[in-house]
């Protein structure tokens, strides 16, 4: 097959993967078989100090194919957040976002830098601040120097510290119009809430299978009108094993929960006026968080907030995310790459 046809075919295959359960290994098999057929980017890891967290953190950076050869060119940036119990390497090692980006860029999607920070277990400022020493004395999957922080201010860390590090060390187009954020599960929530609360930093945001409405207590399957908890205790049955973690984030004051709710943040932004981020939301129909996503879709529609929304076959798995990250990368690229 001629080179241009192969590039187009692979690009279309990745974009059209909505109907198949692709995995990271599947994508890498395609890439390994056809590696010489399209230009490839590079992936490496940085370590930098975060003032918000009070510690050094790791961040994985994907540089697009032309970055090393066109040394005068500046690039838009997409930030991708991992999910609960994940790390900064997940989007590459489990989701093959680098392979997806290579194929999309070869097929015509504007080239971007993709940045994957270490978000530990939450993209908000925690009510219950733990501190490094107390965290280090508790058993975690990761070593204390990779997981523990002095201050759990993860929203500020992403929106300020990570962005500042990237803008200072890479050839970025350092404005909101050329900056987007995406994520999966916990990171999907993080992408949307950070973009809404820091609308001057990000112009687009995408959520895959996001935990978008923890206060939702309506029926399953979802039915309008959207119903929310009137007390924190009401949330406990629907939150299940995540409830203790949510208490660390938002405590027992329902007003604090509302302040961190995506729909509430969108409503405040609408009232305030000014620039609003463009939003993309998808979720698998067999995902346990599908009704939260449907509720969020209904709320954004009620508020008149323009957004893209999709449901596809699949569950809360890497097979789903590695399949559909192509949609968000292409969607973000079309908006911040102009």
Instruction: Give the strand pairing for 77-81 and 42-50.
Output: unpaired
Residue 52 CA to residue 152 CA, distance in Å, equals 8
- Tell me, what's the pLDDT at 1? 32
- Tell me, what's the pLDDT at 25? 61
- Tell me, what's the pLDDT at 60? 98
Residue 79 CA to residue 116 CA, distance in Å, equals 6
Q: Which residue is associated with the tokens 């976002």?
A: 97
CATH number at residue 139: 3.40.50.1820
Q: Which residue segment(s) compose the domain that 168 sits in?
A: 3-336
The structure tokens listed for 253 are 């004051």
The structure tokens listed for 299 are 């709320």
- Give the residue from 73, 80, 77 showing the smallest Cα distance to 59: 80
Residue 43 CA to residue 210 CA, distance in Å, equals 26
- Transcribe 17-52 into DSSP letters: GGGS---HHHHHHHHHHHGGGS---EEEEEEEEETT
Provide the residue count of the chain.
338
- Transcribe 271-313 into DSSP letters: HH-S---EEEEEEETT-TTHHHHHHHHHHHHHHT--EEEEEES
Determine which helix (DSSP H) or strand (DSSP E) holds 335, and give its type and residue range.
helix 318-336
The rounded average pLDDT for each run of 10 residues, N- to C-terminus, in the chain (338 residues) is 33 38 55 69 98 98 97 98 97 97 96 98 94 92 93 98 98 98 98 98 98 96 96 95 95 96 97 95 98 98 97 98 97 96
- Tell me, what's the pLDDT at 279? 98
Residue 301 CA to residue 297 CA, distance in Å, equals 6
The structure tokens listed for 226 are 């959207």
pTM > 0.75: yes or no: yes
- Tell me, what's the pLDDT at 6? 32
φ/ψ of residue 92, rounded to 5: -90, -50
Helix (H, G, I), strand (E, B) or coil at 76: coil
Q: How many CB atoms sit inside 10 A of residue 86's CB?
A: 22
Note whether 242 and 230 are within 8 A (CB). Answer: no
- Tell me, what's the pLDDT at 19? 37
As a dihedral over the C-alpha atoms of residue 70, residue 71, residue 72, residue 78, rounded to 10 degrees, the angle is 80
Q: Assign 3-state DSSP to the chain and report helix, strand, coil percentages, each to 5.
A: 45, 15, 40
Taking phi over 0 as left and psi of -120 to 50 as alpha, with beta for the rest, 131 belongs to left
Helix (H, G, I), strand (E, B) or coil at 253: coil
The total of structural domains in the chain comes to 1
- Tell me, what's the pLDDT at 17? 38
Residues 299-334: pLDDT tens digits?
999 999 999 999 999 999 999 999 999 999 999 999
Note whether 100 and 150 are within 8 A (CB). Answer: no
């Amino acid at each position: 097959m001629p080179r241009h046809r192969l590039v187009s075919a692979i690009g279309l295959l990745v974009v059209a993967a909505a109907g198949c359960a692709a995995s990271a290994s599947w994508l890498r098999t395609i890439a390994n078989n056809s590696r010489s057929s399209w230009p490839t980017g590079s992936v490496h890891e940085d370590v930098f100090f975060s003032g918000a967290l009070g510690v050094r953190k790791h961040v994985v950076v994907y540089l697009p194919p032309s970055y090393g050869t066109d040394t005068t060119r500046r690039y838009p940036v997409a930030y991708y957040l991992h999910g609960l119990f994940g790390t900064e390497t997940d989007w590459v090692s489990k989701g093959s976002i680098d392979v997806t980006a290579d194929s999309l860029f070869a097929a015509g999607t504007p080239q971007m830098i993709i940045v994957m920070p270490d978000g530990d277990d939450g993209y908000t400022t925690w009510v219950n601040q733990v501190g490094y020493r107390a965290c280090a004395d508790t058993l975690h999957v990761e070593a204390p120097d990779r997981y523990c922080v002095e201050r759990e201010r993860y929203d500020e860390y992403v929106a300020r510290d990570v962005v500042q590090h990237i803008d200072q060390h890479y050839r970025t187009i350092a404005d909101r119009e050329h900056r987007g954020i995406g994520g999966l599960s916990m990171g999907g929530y993080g992408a949307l809430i950070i973009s809404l609360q820091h609308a001057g930093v990000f112009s687009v945001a995408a959520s895959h299978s996001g935990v978008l409405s923890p206060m939702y207590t309506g029926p399953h399957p979802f039915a309008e009108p959207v119903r929310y908890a009137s007390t924190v205790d009401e949330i406990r049955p629907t939150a299940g094993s995540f409830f203790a973690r949510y208490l660390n984030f938002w405590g027992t004051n329902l007003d604090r929960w509302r302040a961190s709710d995506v729909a509430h943040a969108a409503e405040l932004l609408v009232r305030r006026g000014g620039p609003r981020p463009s939003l993309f939301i998808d979720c698998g129909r067999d995902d346990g968080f599908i009704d939260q996503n449907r509720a969020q879709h209904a709320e954004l529609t009620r508020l008149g907030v323009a957004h893209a929304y999709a449901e596809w076959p699949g569950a809360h798995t890497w097979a789903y995310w590695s399949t559909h990250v192509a949609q968000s990368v292409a969607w973000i690229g079309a908006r911040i790459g102009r």
